[in-house]
């Protein structure tokens, strides 16, 4: 009996040594391989605030709402439901950029994280006749990914092109349930991006300007009700008569205001800086002048927002390669066609 006990004790000690020996390798593996822990998933509130301020131009409302909503949600260890944000506005106003900044300040790998999932209707849900199939696939995808990581993020781009009724398939996952089939979805985040409601936001912003008020005086209550109704009643919004709205499961309808000439200049300056170039105000002004503005009679807002800045800047950049035996390559910014709009 004593010999058996000693033998078992010996096996236990050997097993303990083996486990402890491999523990450092497990730690190393976790360090290099993305996992759902604080090494890879950790919210940086100060970073998000700084990024919104330095990169998201002309969007005082969106910046404020996003910062407060995301910070409050991520700092809550026991949220009652997932965070659902619906971002609305004209193209090029910063909706995709905002979702990217959120991801960058939660996940170490940002948008490249395996815990960030982007859906585009034309790519993921192309055929209307297969909506029922897509609903099942979407539920399966969300269930599997939240099971793998509670802090998963799901971004639905071009919601205005989403087949009616499809988005309601996620309703159980964004509701006030503690668990569904043993899985809690309360720490997940859902972000909708849509051009729907852009007309309503633009009109409200334009009315403010015509009344002599500064756009920075706009508050959420000036826009949100009209925006949510506009989206709910728009058959092309992706949220037309959606249960998510009826049941008040969208936490914030975030308005992205139309951008003015001054904001386009800011975008151009930021793009130059991002490329490692010395920001040139003259180039920024010329870029901004080459953009179309509307509405028809006022021409106060940039129609493409800042969307065309990155591609158009290419026409103003001339790369000059210095022979390697002298100095490294440098960039010079110039006007390709002086006197003509870019």
Tokens in use for 305? 């927002």
96 assigned ligand-binding residue:
yes
- 342 burial class (0-12, 13-18, 19+ CB within 10 angstroms)? middle
92 assigned ligand-binding residue:
yes
List the helix and strand counts (H, then E) for the chain.
13, 9
40 assigned ligand-binding residue:
no
Phi, psi (rounded to 5 degrees) for 268: -65, -45
205 assigned ligand-binding residue:
no
89 assigned ligand-binding residue:
yes
Alpha-helix residue ranges (DSSP H) falling in the chain: 2-32, 45-55, 60-74, 95-104, 121-124, 131-148, 171-174, 198-210, 220-232, 243-246, 261-274, 281-289, 309-313
90 assigned ligand-binding residue:
yes
Angle at 73 between CA 246 and CA 200, to 5 degrees: 45
Which residues belong to the annotated binding site for ATP?
89-96
Which residues belong to the annotated binding site?
89-96
């Amino acid at each position: 009996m004593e010999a058996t006990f000693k033998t078992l004790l010996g096996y236990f000690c050997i097993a303990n040594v083996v486990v402890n020996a491999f523990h450092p390798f497990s730690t190393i593996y976790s360090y290099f391989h993305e996992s759902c822990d604080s090494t890879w998933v950790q919210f940086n509130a100060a970073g998000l605030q700084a990024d919104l301020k330095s990169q998201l131009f002309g969007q005082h409302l969106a910046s404020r709402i996003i910062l407060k909503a995301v910070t409050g949600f991520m700092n809550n260890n026991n949220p009652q439901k997932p965070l659902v944000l619906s971002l609305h506005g004209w193209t090029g106003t910063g909706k995709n950029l905002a979702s990217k900044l959120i991801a960058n300040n939660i996940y170490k790998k940002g948008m490249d994280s395996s815990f960030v999932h982007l859906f585009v209707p034309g790519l993921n849900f192309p055929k209307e006749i297969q909506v029922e199939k897509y609903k099942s696939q979407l539920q399966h995808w969300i269930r599997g990914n939240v099971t793998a990581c509670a802090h998963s993020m799901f971004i639905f781009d071009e919601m205005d092109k989403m087949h009616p009724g499809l988005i309601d398939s996620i309703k159980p996952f964004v509701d006030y349930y503690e668990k569904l089939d043993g899985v809690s979805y309360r720490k997940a985040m859902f972000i909708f991006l849509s051009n729907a409601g852009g007309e309503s936001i633009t009109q409200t912003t334009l009315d403010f300007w015509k009344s002599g008020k500064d756009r920075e005086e706009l508050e959420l209550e000036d826009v949100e009700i009209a925006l949510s109704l506009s989206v709910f009643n728009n058959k092309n919004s992706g949220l037309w008569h959606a249960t998510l709205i009826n049941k008040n499961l969208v936490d914030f309808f975030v308005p992205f205001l139309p951008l003015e000439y001054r904001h386009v200049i800011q975008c151009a300056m930021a793009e130059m800086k991002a490329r490692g170039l010395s920001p040139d105000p003259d180039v920024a002004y010329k870029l901004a002048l080459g953009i179309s503005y509307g509405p028809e009679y006022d021409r106060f807002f940039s129609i493409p927002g800042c969307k065309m800045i990155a591609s158009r800047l290419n026409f103003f950049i001339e790369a000059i390669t210095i022979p390697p035996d002298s100095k490294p390559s440098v960039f010079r910014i110039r006007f390709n066609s002086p006197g003509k709009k870019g």
